[in-house]
Copies of this chain bind each other. A is one copy, B any other.
Amino acid sequence: MNEHNHPQSKQVINRLSRATGHLESVKKMAEEGRDCSELLVQISAVISALNSASKVILEDHINHCVVEAAKVDDKKVINDLIDAINEYVGINVKKDAGIH
């Protein structure tokens, strides 16, 4: 396991925990046959919470892992970040094996 911690790790866990609880309650709303528009609003709130958590993760990651990786020319960390961003935003960011 590639264990590591960041200043915001606790905050990220709390945000993911709240989003999980929120999503659990949205599932219950669906089971109760609640109005579709209500469901859509609540799902969009969960997505918004997940986007916020991702921003915190990304900022922490860039400030720590990526800065450290750049110093020792660790291409794997940089390329993994690019892959993750590509996955996240659904557009292709070009990889550059060299760190300048």
Which residue of chain B is the closest to A5 with respect to CB atoms?
Answer: B33
Range, interface on chain A:
35 or more
Copies of this chain, how many?
2
Verify if A73 is at the interface (C-beta below 8 Å from B).
no
A37 contacts B83, C-beta separation under 8 Å = yes
A44 contacts B87, C-beta separation under 8 Å = yes
Bound together, the chains give a CA A4 to CA B34 distance in angstroms of 7
A41 contacts B83, C-beta separation under 8 Å = yes
A residues with a Cβ closer than 8 A to B are 1-6, 9, 12-13, 16-17, 19-20, 23-24, 26-27, 30-41, 43-47, 50-51, 53-54, 57-58, 60-61, 65, 77, 80-81, 83-85, 87-88
